[in-house]
Amino acid sequence: MASAVAALFFLKYWHQTRDRFFMMFSLAFAIDSAGRFALALIGAAEDFEPYAYLTRLLTFGLIIAAVSNKNGSQKID
């Protein structure tokens, strides 16, 4: 549930600023929330558990991409 709240929080800031950074963070937390929700519905079966980490990999990949995109787009004087 915390991931869903974080996704809505960043979505609010994306709506205000239209900054891609906030949109990517919102998407990352929404994917994390959906993955955790699916894992809770299915249960923690041992043969499915490694696939649950794919959503986390995608989530952290989006966060890394958002931060590096934000830092790379800044102009140095």
- Over 90: is that where the pLDDT of 53 sits? no
pLDDT at 46: 65
The per-residue pLDDT of the chain, averaged, comes to 87
Cβ neighbours of residue 17 under 8 Å, at least 6 residues apart? none
d(CA 67, CA 20): 10
Predicted confidence band of residue 52 (pLDDT cuts 50, 70, 90):
confident
User: What's the N-to-C CA distance of the chain in angstroms?
Assistant: 42
The burial of 26, by beta-carbon neighbours within 10 Å (0-12 exposed, 13-18 middle, 19 or more buried), is given as buried
Q: What is the pTM of this model?
A: 0.81
Q: Hey, what are 48's tokens?
A: 């499915």
Token look-up 């989006």 returns 62
